[in-house]
Amino acid sequence: MNQQGNNSNNLLERMYQHSTNTIKIEDNSLIKVTTAQELQLESENMTDLTPLYEPFFYEGECCILFADTNSGKSILSVQIADEISRKGYKVLYLDFEMSLRQFSSRCRDENGQVYKFHDNFMRGSINPNALCVDDNNNYENLLISTIENRILTFNPQVVIIDNLTYLCMQSESGSEAGALMRRLIDIKNRNDISMLVVSHTPKRNLCEPITENSLAGSKRIANFADSMFAIGKSAMDDNMRYIKQIKSRSGEIVHGASNVQACCIDREDGLLRFIHLGESAENEHLKKRGGTHSRKNDIIQLLQEGKSVREICKKLGVSPNTVSRLKQEC
Protein backbone atom coordinates (compact mmCIF):
# COMPACT_ATOMS: atom_id res chain seq x y z
CA MET A 1 0.00 0.00 0.00
CA ASN A 2 1.37 3.43 -0.90
CA GLN A 3 2.03 6.24 1.57
CA GLN A 4 -1.20 8.04 0.65
CA GLY A 5 -3.24 4.90 1.45
CA ASN A 6 -1.52 4.55 4.83
CA ASN A 7 -2.27 8.19 5.65
CA SER A 8 -5.97 7.68 4.78
CA ASN A 9 -6.22 4.61 7.03
CA ASN A 10 -4.54 6.45 9.90
CA LEU A 11 -6.94 9.35 9.50
CA LEU A 12 -9.95 7.01 9.61
CA GLU A 13 -8.60 5.29 12.73
CA ARG A 14 -8.15 8.64 14.47
CA MET A 15 -11.68 9.71 13.48
CA TYR A 16 -13.23 6.54 14.93
CA GLN A 17 -11.19 6.87 18.09
CA HIS A 18 -12.20 10.50 18.49
CA SER A 19 -15.90 9.68 18.06
CA THR A 20 -15.88 7.69 21.30
CA ASN A 21 -14.28 10.49 23.29
CA THR A 22 -15.95 13.40 25.01
CA ILE A 23 -16.07 16.52 22.89
CA LYS A 24 -13.98 19.08 24.77
CA ILE A 25 -13.74 21.89 22.24
CA GLU A 26 -14.93 25.17 23.73
CA ASP A 27 -15.04 28.43 21.84
CA ASN A 28 -17.33 31.37 21.16
CA SER A 29 -18.98 29.83 18.13
CA LEU A 30 -22.65 30.56 17.53
CA ILE A 31 -23.38 26.82 17.61
CA LYS A 32 -22.48 24.75 20.67
CA VAL A 33 -21.85 21.03 20.09
CA THR A 34 -21.81 18.24 22.65
CA THR A 35 -22.62 14.53 22.68
CA ALA A 36 -26.14 13.34 23.37
CA GLN A 37 -24.84 11.20 26.25
CA GLU A 38 -23.27 14.25 27.91
CA LEU A 39 -26.58 16.04 27.61
CA GLN A 40 -28.29 13.11 29.32
CA LEU A 41 -25.86 13.27 32.23
CA GLU A 42 -26.20 17.03 32.45
CA SER A 43 -30.01 16.86 32.47
CA GLU A 44 -29.99 14.48 35.49
CA ASN A 45 -29.08 17.44 37.68
CA MET A 46 -31.85 19.64 36.31
CA THR A 47 -34.98 20.24 38.36
CA ASP A 48 -38.44 19.91 36.85
CA LEU A 49 -39.87 22.97 35.15
CA THR A 50 -41.80 25.14 37.60
CA PRO A 51 -45.24 26.36 36.51
CA LEU A 52 -45.58 30.13 36.80
CA TYR A 53 -49.24 30.25 35.77
CA GLU A 54 -50.31 26.63 35.60
CA PRO A 55 -50.80 25.01 33.15
CA PHE A 56 -50.33 27.83 30.64
CA PHE A 57 -46.90 29.34 31.39
CA TYR A 58 -43.76 27.65 32.78
CA GLU A 59 -40.45 28.96 34.09
CA GLY A 60 -37.85 29.59 31.39
CA GLU A 61 -40.38 29.78 28.58
CA CYS A 62 -41.24 32.35 25.96
CA CYS A 63 -45.03 32.20 26.08
CA ILE A 64 -47.63 33.96 23.90
CA LEU A 65 -51.04 35.13 25.11
CA PHE A 66 -53.30 36.37 22.33
CA ALA A 67 -56.90 37.51 21.89
CA ASP A 68 -59.17 39.84 19.95
CA THR A 69 -59.61 43.51 20.90
CA ASN A 70 -61.57 44.11 24.12
CA SER A 71 -61.29 40.48 25.18
CA GLY A 72 -59.45 41.27 28.43
CA LYS A 73 -55.81 40.61 27.46
CA SER A 74 -54.47 43.33 29.74
CA ILE A 75 -56.81 42.34 32.58
CA LEU A 76 -55.51 38.77 32.50
CA SER A 77 -51.90 39.91 32.02
CA VAL A 78 -52.00 42.03 35.18
CA GLN A 79 -53.67 39.16 37.04
CA ILE A 80 -50.92 36.76 35.91
CA ALA A 81 -48.19 39.23 36.92
CA ASP A 82 -49.84 39.67 40.31
CA GLU A 83 -50.11 35.91 40.95
CA ILE A 84 -46.51 35.21 39.87
CA SER A 85 -45.14 38.06 42.01
CA ARG A 86 -46.82 36.53 45.08
CA LYS A 87 -44.91 33.28 44.46
CA GLY A 88 -41.63 35.09 45.16
CA TYR A 89 -40.63 36.04 41.60
CA LYS A 90 -39.71 39.59 40.61
CA VAL A 91 -42.01 40.51 37.72
CA LEU A 92 -41.57 43.39 35.27
CA TYR A 93 -44.85 44.16 33.53
CA LEU A 94 -44.12 46.36 30.50
CA ASP A 95 -47.40 48.14 29.87
CA PHE A 96 -47.60 49.70 26.42
CA GLU A 97 -51.41 49.58 26.41
CA MET A 98 -52.86 51.50 29.36
CA SER A 99 -52.34 54.95 30.78
CA LEU A 100 -51.74 55.31 34.51
CA ARG A 101 -55.37 56.39 34.96
CA GLN A 102 -56.64 53.33 33.07
CA PHE A 103 -54.36 51.00 35.02
CA SER A 104 -55.41 52.49 38.37
CA SER A 105 -59.13 52.31 37.56
CA ARG A 106 -58.86 48.54 37.30
CA CYS A 107 -57.18 48.24 40.69
CA ARG A 108 -59.73 49.74 43.08
CA ASP A 109 -63.24 48.80 44.19
CA GLU A 110 -66.43 50.85 43.98
CA ASN A 111 -65.61 52.46 47.33
CA GLY A 112 -62.21 53.65 46.12
CA GLN A 113 -60.30 51.03 48.12
CA VAL A 114 -56.96 50.47 46.33
CA TYR A 115 -55.78 46.93 45.61
CA LYS A 116 -52.50 46.06 47.37
CA PHE A 117 -49.92 44.65 44.96
CA HIS A 118 -46.83 42.74 46.12
CA ASP A 119 -43.53 44.63 46.10
CA ASN A 120 -42.22 42.08 43.55
CA PHE A 121 -44.61 43.53 40.95
CA MET A 122 -42.98 46.31 38.88
CA ARG A 123 -44.71 48.18 36.07
CA GLY A 124 -42.84 49.82 33.22
CA SER A 125 -44.40 52.27 30.77
CA ILE A 126 -43.30 54.75 28.13
CA ASN A 127 -41.69 57.88 29.55
CA PRO A 128 -43.38 60.82 27.76
CA ASN A 129 -40.39 63.06 28.56
CA ALA A 130 -37.83 60.79 26.93
CA LEU A 131 -36.06 62.14 23.85
CA CYS A 132 -36.67 59.78 20.93
CA VAL A 133 -36.10 59.81 17.21
CA ASP A 134 -39.14 59.91 14.95
CA ASP A 135 -38.12 57.20 12.52
CA ASN A 136 -40.17 54.05 13.23
CA ASN A 137 -37.33 51.60 12.69
CA ASN A 138 -34.95 53.52 14.95
CA TYR A 139 -37.66 53.90 17.57
CA GLU A 140 -38.38 50.16 17.61
CA ASN A 141 -34.67 49.37 17.92
CA LEU A 142 -34.30 51.90 20.73
CA LEU A 143 -37.33 50.47 22.54
CA ILE A 144 -36.07 46.88 22.38
CA SER A 145 -32.63 47.99 23.58
CA THR A 146 -34.27 49.90 26.43
CA ILE A 147 -36.23 46.79 27.43
CA GLU A 148 -32.99 44.86 27.88
CA ASN A 149 -31.47 47.78 29.76
CA ARG A 150 -34.42 47.80 32.19
CA ILE A 151 -34.01 44.04 32.65
CA LEU A 152 -30.33 44.47 33.49
CA THR A 153 -31.10 47.35 35.86
CA PHE A 154 -34.02 45.84 37.81
CA ASN A 155 -33.18 42.11 37.52
CA PRO A 156 -36.67 40.66 37.09
CA GLN A 157 -37.11 36.92 36.77
CA VAL A 158 -40.28 37.24 34.70
CA VAL A 159 -41.04 39.85 32.02
CA ILE A 160 -44.51 40.42 30.57
CA ILE A 161 -44.76 42.54 27.42
CA ASP A 162 -48.17 44.06 26.70
CA ASN A 163 -48.19 44.08 23.75
CA LEU A 164 -46.29 42.93 20.67
CA THR A 165 -47.91 45.43 18.30
CA TYR A 166 -46.32 48.40 20.09
CA LEU A 167 -42.86 46.92 19.53
CA CYS A 168 -43.50 46.20 15.88
CA MET A 169 -46.11 48.07 13.87
CA GLN A 170 -45.81 45.39 11.18
CA SER A 171 -46.48 42.53 13.60
CA GLU A 172 -49.16 41.08 11.29
CA SER A 173 -46.40 40.48 8.75
CA GLY A 174 -44.92 37.04 9.32
CA SER A 175 -41.33 38.07 8.52
CA GLU A 176 -41.40 41.18 10.73
CA ALA A 177 -43.05 39.33 13.62
CA GLY A 178 -40.59 36.45 13.33
CA ALA A 179 -37.57 38.76 13.41
CA LEU A 180 -38.92 40.54 16.49
CA MET A 181 -39.64 37.27 18.31
CA ARG A 182 -36.09 36.10 17.64
CA ARG A 183 -34.75 39.30 19.22
CA LEU A 184 -36.99 38.90 22.28
CA ILE A 185 -35.94 35.28 22.73
CA ASP A 186 -32.28 36.32 22.51
CA ILE A 187 -32.94 38.80 25.34
CA LYS A 188 -34.72 36.09 27.33
CA ASN A 189 -31.86 33.63 26.91
CA ARG A 190 -29.07 36.12 27.61
CA ASN A 191 -30.71 37.25 30.83
CA ASP A 192 -32.05 33.84 31.94
CA ILE A 193 -35.63 35.04 32.41
CA SER A 194 -39.15 33.83 31.62
CA MET A 195 -41.14 35.92 29.15
CA LEU A 196 -44.85 36.31 28.40
CA VAL A 197 -45.66 38.27 25.23
CA VAL A 198 -49.19 39.54 24.67
CA SER A 199 -50.43 39.76 21.10
CA HIS A 200 -53.72 40.11 19.23
CA THR A 201 -55.84 38.34 16.66
CA PRO A 202 -57.12 40.04 13.56
CA LYS A 203 -60.91 40.06 13.23
CA ARG A 204 -61.92 36.41 13.47
CA ASN A 205 -65.08 34.46 12.77
CA LEU A 206 -66.64 33.78 16.20
CA CYS A 207 -68.27 30.65 14.80
CA GLU A 208 -64.82 29.09 14.36
CA PRO A 209 -62.56 27.69 17.12
CA ILE A 210 -59.35 29.48 18.04
CA THR A 211 -56.16 28.01 16.55
CA GLU A 212 -52.59 29.21 16.12
CA ASN A 213 -53.69 30.56 12.74
CA SER A 214 -55.89 33.06 14.62
CA LEU A 215 -52.75 34.88 15.79
CA ALA A 216 -51.45 37.86 13.80
CA GLY A 217 -48.18 36.81 12.11
CA SER A 218 -49.22 33.34 13.19
CA LYS A 219 -46.75 30.82 11.83
CA ARG A 220 -43.57 32.78 12.49
CA ILE A 221 -44.59 33.67 16.05
CA ALA A 222 -45.94 30.19 16.83
CA ASN A 223 -42.70 28.56 15.71
CA PHE A 224 -40.66 30.61 18.19
CA ALA A 225 -43.02 30.26 21.17
CA ASP A 226 -42.59 27.53 23.79
CA SER A 227 -46.25 27.79 24.72
CA MET A 228 -49.36 29.66 23.59
CA PHE A 229 -52.80 30.27 25.02
CA ALA A 230 -55.69 32.46 23.94
CA ILE A 231 -58.77 34.24 25.24
CA GLY A 232 -62.03 33.78 23.38
CA LYS A 233 -65.26 35.75 23.74
CA SER A 234 -68.15 33.49 24.64
CA ALA A 235 -71.45 33.59 22.77
CA MET A 236 -73.19 32.63 26.02
CA ASP A 237 -72.75 36.04 27.64
CA ASP A 238 -71.13 39.40 26.81
CA ASN A 239 -69.10 39.33 30.03
CA MET A 240 -67.98 35.73 29.66
CA ARG A 241 -64.63 34.55 28.27
CA TYR A 242 -62.86 31.24 27.83
CA ILE A 243 -59.15 30.43 27.94
CA LYS A 244 -57.73 27.82 25.58
CA GLN A 245 -54.27 26.28 25.38
CA ILE A 246 -52.88 26.25 21.86
CA LYS A 247 -49.32 24.95 22.34
CA SER A 248 -47.20 23.60 25.19
CA ARG A 249 -43.65 22.22 25.03
CA SER A 250 -43.28 21.96 28.82
CA GLY A 251 -46.42 20.04 29.77
CA GLU A 252 -49.59 18.50 28.47
CA ILE A 253 -52.46 20.45 26.95
CA VAL A 254 -54.98 20.53 29.79
CA HIS A 255 -57.37 23.15 28.46
CA GLY A 256 -57.72 22.23 24.80
CA ALA A 257 -60.83 22.40 22.63
CA SER A 258 -62.72 19.81 24.67
CA ASN A 259 -61.94 21.40 28.04
CA VAL A 260 -61.49 25.17 27.88
CA GLN A 261 -61.48 27.25 31.05
CA ALA A 262 -64.68 29.31 31.31
CA CYS A 263 -64.38 32.66 33.12
CA CYS A 264 -66.19 35.90 33.73
CA ILE A 265 -64.62 39.32 34.25
CA ASP A 266 -65.39 40.87 37.63
CA ARG A 267 -63.73 42.61 40.55
CA GLU A 268 -62.33 40.68 43.47
CA ASP A 269 -60.73 42.60 46.35
CA GLY A 270 -60.82 45.63 44.07
CA LEU A 271 -58.83 44.08 41.22
CA LEU A 272 -60.55 43.52 37.87
CA ARG A 273 -59.78 39.92 37.01
CA PHE A 274 -60.82 36.67 35.31
CA ILE A 275 -62.88 34.57 37.73
CA HIS A 276 -62.90 30.85 37.02
CA LEU A 277 -66.37 29.37 36.45
CA GLY A 278 -65.48 25.84 35.39
CA GLU A 279 -64.54 23.82 32.30
CA SER A 280 -66.53 23.18 29.14
CA ALA A 281 -66.11 22.39 25.46
CA GLU A 282 -65.12 25.28 23.21
CA ASN A 283 -68.01 24.66 20.81
CA GLU A 284 -70.42 25.62 23.59
CA HIS A 285 -68.98 29.14 23.49
CA LEU A 286 -69.00 29.59 19.72
CA LYS A 287 -71.71 31.42 17.83
CA LYS A 288 -74.14 29.18 16.02
CA ARG A 289 -74.29 29.65 12.28
CA GLY A 290 -77.51 31.21 11.04
CA GLY A 291 -78.86 32.06 14.48
CA THR A 292 -78.29 33.62 17.88
CA HIS A 293 -77.25 31.93 21.09
CA SER A 294 -79.00 33.04 24.27
CA ARG A 295 -79.35 31.51 27.74
CA LYS A 296 -81.87 34.04 29.02
CA ASN A 297 -84.84 31.63 29.12
CA ASP A 298 -82.74 28.91 30.78
CA ILE A 299 -81.59 31.35 33.48
CA ILE A 300 -85.13 32.57 34.16
CA GLN A 301 -86.41 29.00 34.42
CA LEU A 302 -83.69 28.06 36.94
CA LEU A 303 -84.38 31.21 38.97
CA GLN A 304 -88.07 30.27 39.12
CA GLU A 305 -87.02 26.83 40.37
CA GLY A 306 -85.25 28.55 43.27
CA LYS A 307 -81.68 27.89 42.15
CA SER A 308 -78.99 30.19 43.56
CA VAL A 309 -76.84 32.51 41.43
CA ARG A 310 -73.79 30.31 42.04
CA GLU A 311 -75.68 27.13 41.05
CA ILE A 312 -76.91 28.72 37.82
CA CYS A 313 -73.44 30.03 36.93
CA LYS A 314 -71.95 26.58 37.41
CA LYS A 315 -74.70 24.80 35.50
CA LEU A 316 -74.94 27.16 32.50
CA GLY A 317 -71.46 28.67 32.49
CA VAL A 318 -72.69 32.26 32.60
CA SER A 319 -71.39 35.19 34.63
CA PRO A 320 -72.85 36.17 38.05
CA ASN A 321 -73.62 39.67 36.72
CA THR A 322 -75.91 38.29 34.03
CA VAL A 323 -77.81 36.08 36.46
CA SER A 324 -78.13 38.87 39.02
CA ARG A 325 -79.41 41.29 36.39
CA LEU A 326 -82.10 38.88 35.21
CA LYS A 327 -82.97 38.07 38.82
CA GLN A 328 -83.77 41.74 39.42
CA GLU A 329 -85.91 41.84 36.29
CA CYS A 330 -87.99 38.82 37.33
C-alpha span between 83 and 102 (Å, rounded):
20
pLDDT at position 295: 64
108 DSSP 8-state letter: B
Mean pLDDT value of segment 60-80: 96
Could you report the per-residue pLDDT of 284-327, keeping only the tens digit for each? 999 886 544 456 777 887 887 788 888 887 777 677 877 887 78
* More confident: 67 or 178: 67
* More confident: 294 or 101: 101
C-alpha span between 230 and 68 (Å, rounded):
9
Per-residue pLDDT at 6 exceeds 70: no
3-state secondary structure 289-301: CCCCCCCHHHHHH
Could you report the per-residue pLDDT of 263-281, keeping only the tens digit for each? 999 999 999 999 999 999 9
pLDDT at position 330: 67
Per-residue pLDDT at 76 exceeds 70: yes
Strands 260-268 and 240-248: antiparallel
C-alpha span between 141 and 69 (Å, rounded):
26
Q: Compute CA distances 324 → 54, 76, 297, 300, 328, whole Å.
A: 31, 24, 14, 11, 6
Mean pLDDT value of segment 112-139: 85
Express as a percent the part of the chain with pLDDT over 90: 52
Mean pLDDT value of segment 116-133: 89
| Residue 69: exposure state from Cβ atoms within 10 A (0-12, 13-18, ≥19) | exposed
Q: Count of alpha carbons within 13 Å of 182, Cβ hemisphere only?
A: 7
Mean pLDDT (the chain) is: 85
Q: Cis before residue 55, ω within 30 degrees of 0?
A: yes
pLDDT at position 306: 83
* More confident: 43 or 13: 43
Per-residue pLDDT at 172 exceeds 70: no
pLDDT at position 64: 96
pLDDT at position 139: 83
3-state secondary structure of 159: strand
pLDDT at position 12: 44
Could you report the per-residue pLDDT of 174-221, keeping only the tens digit for each? 677 888 899 999 999 999 999 999 998 877 778 899 999 888 666 778
pLDDT at position 30: 80
User: How many angstroms separate the first and last alpha carbons of the chain?
Assistant: 103
Task: Return the biggest CA–CA distance within the chain.
Answer: 103
pLDDT at position 233: 94
